[in-house]
Structure 1
Amino acid sequence: MVTFQELLNVEHFSALKPLNKNADLTRVIGSADITETPDIKSYVSPNTFLLTTGIFFKDHQEGLITLIDELNKVPIAGLGIKTSRFLNSIDEKVLQHADKLKFPIIEIPENWKLGQAIHEIISYISSDESQKLYFALEVQQRMNNMLIQDHSLERMVNSLAKFLRLPLILVNPFSKVEVKSYQFNNKRMLEEHLRYFQDIYLPEKDKKRVSLDEKYAVFEVPALKYFPYHLIVSDIQNINYPFSLLAIEQAINTLSFAIYKNTKIRATEQDDANLFFKSIIRTTDSSPINMQSNPEFFEHYNFIRSDYYRVFVCGIDKHSDIENSEYIQERYYLTFQWLENVLKSLDESISIFGFGELNKFAILFQKKHEYYIPYLKYLQQEYKRFFKESLSFGIGNEVTEISQIGSAFLEALETYNTHYSEGKMEFLEKYRTRNLEELMQLLPFDKLRPFVNYTLGDLAFPTNTKDKELKNTLKVYMENQFDITKTSNLIYVHRNTVKYRINKCEEILNTDITDPKKSLDIRLALFISETISFE
């Protein structure tokens, strides 16, 4: 669409002059018309450039203030007045009011007839739009051909920059440069554009609109709905006719398809790597897949020969039960891409895999990093900055063989799931070997209680004082390696009393408690009965 700024820059219309200083010359002119009546507001279309001699306001220019208010609400593009015919000049009060609204008042030259002006303006608008549409379609056709021919994003952006003769930067959802055009030959120029994008555009993104009178313009590239790319166009005020915003918008559509296509290709390649990782975590020592006989195969999936492997399970914390499936898919893909970029900048041998859930990732370290805990904490902070969400990590033990990666993965996954099930967020926990009590908790009670009853008999869950004393003496005696003296000192009874009670226990249990196998069963049964609540 034609703006006042564009129209007034055309030599043929250069005699048209804005009368008020703060006129918004970026207003779009959709059509032009003539009026000499003050009640035109109900009959004029939006974006009309309305021309008049102002005869009705010859003796009371204050009426122009009311007219401007009414026309600005339509809203029309602006008002063209041939002042030389009846008004000679516009009162300062009228111009000041127009400035408050940034409403353009344009002076029509004395030698211009209004009918002729209308005809030429409409002809220019029509011709201009046709030319712009033609070139926009040409840009789209060129870009589509490059897409079909599988050209890289870098080549497509550079081709567009040459065609438009404007510097371009494609910024990814992490505010990092994905592609910069050939014009950015120095770091300072690039940093200046990125500062504008991060410090000025992003904070006011919802209010900002593209303007042809500014140095920079930023366009969303909606390859991903919730995490768009952005195209920064530099020196857009110098865009040459017949190129227009429409041409840039058409090119952006093609760039979106190219990015989307690349996203799907990378996802397919990653699915292949994920399948290989699944086969690795199921590997046993007898598995036919081994690095020694298939080095190139492992190298293809970024596995290296090492004596150090450590698996981390990284998960995106759930902050709400209501999550959009499209958003989850996009977040998963971008989180994967983000993790890969930042971790490989630390160490190229680090690999990342998915394993079937859209909120978890397996990260494999193949070299030892002393300060990996602080680095993971740094990742947690950076992730919140980009995604406004948080990450948690479960960490497995280090292993020395590829065949042990599966057990390391299960340790990391168990650690993650344990803390996740407790409702924790943004945690960073190492695998801890379970103690005997925790292992017993994993067994069903209907298996544990019969074992205790069978092994301890009447001493399993005693209710009278005598049996309780016998059970406690037996427990202390066995904990102290059958030492009668230590036992008597610990429970404050005579040695003979200890001997008597132990003999009594052996009668009840009908076994020799010093027998290694029986001793283990009895000690385990005592432990279970004391630590596990069966109520």
Structure 2
Amino acid sequence: MWLTVEDVLSIDVMRGADVIAGHDGLGRNIKSVTVLDAPDASLWLQGHELALTSTFPLLKRRNGLNMLVEELVARNVAGLGLKLHRYMTTLPDAMIARANELAFPIFRVPDHIAWIEIISPIFARVLDTDAQHLIRSEEIRSQFTKQLFSGAGLESLMALLYSMLGRPVLLTSPADAHTVWLPEVAAKVDDVMQILRCPDTAAEHVASCPGVMRKRSADFNVVYIRLDQGADPHAYIAALETGEPIDPPLLHCLVHAREAISMSLLQRRANISITREKHNEFVHTLVDPQLSEGARQAHIARGKEKGIPLHDRYFAAVIKFHNLDEHVFRAVASLFHAKMDDDHLLVSSLDSTRFLLLVPETEQSDLHLDGGAGCIERYIAEVAKFQAAPDWNAGISQATGVIHLDRAYEQAEYALGHSLKSGEKCRVKLHDETGLYRLLSHPAMQNDIRRFIDEWLQPLLQYDRKRRSRLVATLRVFLDNNGNYRETARLMHVHHNTVRYRISQIYTLTRRDILNPRLRLQYQLALVLHDMNRERAPERE
């Protein structure tokens, strides 16, 4: 334990001293002792000092000594000892009241005691306490070092930290897509993550532990330290305080844990990097259009011999992320590669913004229902569990045999190109949806296409432009959902009565039954052609 104000009052030389105010703060820590010799001497204090004064420097501030208490508390001074005999004999009521409010201890020092008689034993106790903390600190460092050099993984290092603190502990490294929470049965992990990420929750320094911070909530506090200084801003080691605060000396465990865990993460990243490079090379070769069928079959056979679980058919997806920084790139790559074991996913990073995912089509999967779009969206959504995912676009191929994955890759790139041309972010484009583009992209057909769009959609397009409404968008969702008002409202995030009003406006403007099977096909074709024209030259509806 650190030396406290209460400890100082128990020193033999302080016999006869009495506490005037701030009894609740007698547990404040002391690391040094100083004498106030000027009215503004509080400006020179650095924290955890015990301040002593004869009260002569305070005479000029007699009417504002409650403000002095606030200054000393703001500078984290441990307490104030003063002699009330020669210069001041009493303290103002406002000063005593403020000290009680802020739990700042003020005590009377016997007048006959020389300052050196107080300062010397305090410094001796401080030095002895520092020596004990240094010994304990080295013991903690030694335990983490032994664990690290014995080959212990991140979970074992966090288990050691948990045993030292006796409180739930958390390791989160979004760039590695890795989180450890001990004990696993403990609740609040989501709440802790939310507080750590929330910039609006104030953080305070833990003065006795450099780098350790504390955030407070109504139900609990979180003490934490950044894992990668100057690197990933959302990587932390943290501990949960639900009752009494963690003893300050124990918080040094976080500092030593960070050193060992950072080294363990570096080793882990190096091993993963080698594995990923080999995997990337395998996938790149698998989709290489220059590879002959015989060479591809031999490559597949070698992959199976190495234990790569290969399936008969795959969907290829190319995902492009926008404004991707280094930390998010690592997080996305880690997440996708983590799916290799669980989902037999084949992954390759094409460049610093694009990923190729080969998703197996199995009897258990439901990829055929939506062409794999839902699967890709779920993968991307998982990134948000660690940090906000950037905008993206994706293209997905048809399901293709493993021997022809070069064709699937080409289809996915083609579909991605159409998704990008649409100007809409976070959009999946299926290769199956691009068939009309290839059939109707000839320049000779463009005049007929524009006339067809005008015949079926012009009244709605004009209405949308004038009123800044969304009739065309509503028509598209309404037809896709077989005229279901409530499902259309849910997908468009509006009330179902809003959808009913818009559909009535569509009926009024077009004078047609849009759900008539013959007319419905015409409207759907007009919407597809309208989208195709927008992708050539994006414009606002």
Q: What's the TM-score, normalizing by structure 2?
A: 0.64
Asked if the contact 1:61–1:94 (Cα under 8 Å) also holds between the matched residues in 2, the reply is no
User: How far apart in 2 are the matches of 1:294 and 1:33?
Assistant: 75
- Which residue is 1:410 aligned to? 410
Asked if the contact 2:283–2:346 (Cα under 8 Å) also holds between the matched residues in 1, the reply is no
1:218-245 deviations in whole A, cap 9, x for unaligned?
Answer: 222117813432222234956458x343
Asked if the contact 2:337–2:347 (Cα under 8 Å) also holds between the matched residues in 1, the reply is yes
Tell whether 2:286 aligns with 1:284.
Answer: no
SS of residue in 2 equivalent to 1:301: coil
Match of 1:335 among 328, 332, 335: 332
- Which residue is 1:120 aligned to? 121
1:185-214 deviations in whole A, cap 9, x for unaligned?
Answer: 6x2xx2135424424773545634435997
Change in Cα spacing, 1:244 to 1:387, as seen in structure 2 (3 Å) is same
Deviation, 1:312, is 0.5
Deviation, 1:313, is 0.6
Map of 1:5-44 to 2, 5 A cutoff?
8=6, 12=10, 19-20=21-22, 29-35=30-36, 38=39, 40-41=41-42
Match of 1:350 among 329, 345, 348: 345
Amino acid at match of 2:22: N
Match of 1:364 among 354, 358, 367: 358
User: How far apart in 1 are the matches of 2:232 and 2:27?
Assistant: 33
1:272-310 deviations in whole A, cap 9, x for unaligned?
Answer: 100011111124322164488547436x33323x2x211
1:484-522 deviations in whole A, cap 9, x for unaligned?
Answer: xxxxxxxxxxxxxxxxxxxxxxxxxxxxxxxxxxxxxxx
Asked if the contact 2:314–2:399 (Cα under 8 Å) also holds between the matched residues in 1, the reply is yes
SS of residue in 2 equivalent to 1:314: strand
Tell whether 2:146 aligns with 1:151.
Answer: no
Asked if the contact 1:171–1:229 (Cα under 8 Å) also holds between the matched residues in 2, the reply is yes
Change in Cα spacing, 1:366 to 1:7, as seen in structure 2 (3 Å) is farther
Asked if the contact 2:395–2:413 (Cα under 8 Å) also holds between the matched residues in 1, the reply is yes
Tell whether 2:201 aligns with 1:198.
Answer: no
Asked if the contact 1:217–1:233 (Cα under 8 Å) also holds between the matched residues in 2, the reply is yes
Change in Cα spacing, 1:200 to 1:10, as seen in structure 2 (3 Å) is farther
Map of 1:113-512 to 2, 5 A cutoff?
113=113, 114-173=115-174, 178-181=179-182, 184=183, 187=185, 190-199=186-195, 202-204=198-200, 207-209=203-205, 210=213, 216-222=222-228, 225-235=231-241, 237=244, 239=246, 243-282=249-288, 283-287=291-295, 289-290=297-298, 293-294=301-302, 296-297=304-305, 300-304=307-311, 306=312, 308-318=313-323, 328-341=325-338, 348-355=343-350, 357-367=351-361, 368=365, 369=367, 370-371=369-370, 372-381=372-381, 383=383, 386-399=387-400, 401-420=401-420, 423-431=423-431, 432-433=434-435, 435=438, 438=441
User: How far apart in 1 are the matches of 2:179 and 2:42?
Assistant: 49
Between 276-285 and 198-207, the greater mean CA deviation after superposition: 198-207
Structure 1, unpaired ranges of 5+ = 442-535
User: How far apart in 2 are the matches of 1:348 and 1:438?
Assistant: 38
Amino acid at match of 1:425: K
Bigger Cα Rg? 1
Deviation, 1:393, is 1.0
Change in Cα spacing, 1:71 to 1:12, as seen in structure 2 (3 Å) is closer
SS of residue in 2 equivalent to 1:392: strand
Structure 2, unpaired ranges of 5+ = 206-212, 445-541
1:440-466 deviations in whole A, cap 9, x for unaligned?
Answer: 99xxxxxxxxxxxxxxxxxxxxxxxxx
User: How far apart in 1 are the matches of 2:112 and 2:188?
Assistant: 45
Asked if the contact 2:47–2:76 (Cα under 8 Å) also holds between the matched residues in 1, the reply is yes
User: How far apart in 2 are the matches of 1:16 and 1:152?
Assistant: 53
Amino acid at match of 2:173: N
Q: What's the TM-score, normalizing by structure 1?
A: 0.64
Change in Cα spacing, 1:259 to 1:175, as seen in structure 2 (3 Å) is closer
Amino acid at match of 1:191: A
User: How far apart in 1 are the matches of 2:317 and 2:54?
Assistant: 78
1:121-152 deviations in whole A, cap 9, x for unaligned?
Answer: 32233332333233323323332343333321
Asked if the contact 1:394–1:428 (Cα under 8 Å) also holds between the matched residues in 2, the reply is yes
Asked if the contact 1:57–1:63 (Cα under 8 Å) also holds between the matched residues in 2, the reply is no
Deviation, 1:428, is 0.7
Asked if the contact 1:78–1:106 (Cα under 8 Å) also holds between the matched residues in 2, the reply is no
Amino acid at match of 2:287: I
Map of 1:13-92 to 2, 5 A cutoff?
19-20=21-22, 29-35=30-36, 38=39, 40-41=41-42, 47-54=48-55, 61-62=62-63, 64-65=65-66, 67-68=68-69, 75=75, 77-82=77-82, 90-92=91-93
User: How far apart in 1 are the matches of 2:278 and 2:105?
Assistant: 65
User: How far apart in 1 are the matches of 2:235 and 2:73?
Assistant: 35
Deviation, 1:83, is 6.2
User: How far apart in 1 are the matches of 2:439 and 2:189?
Assistant: 61
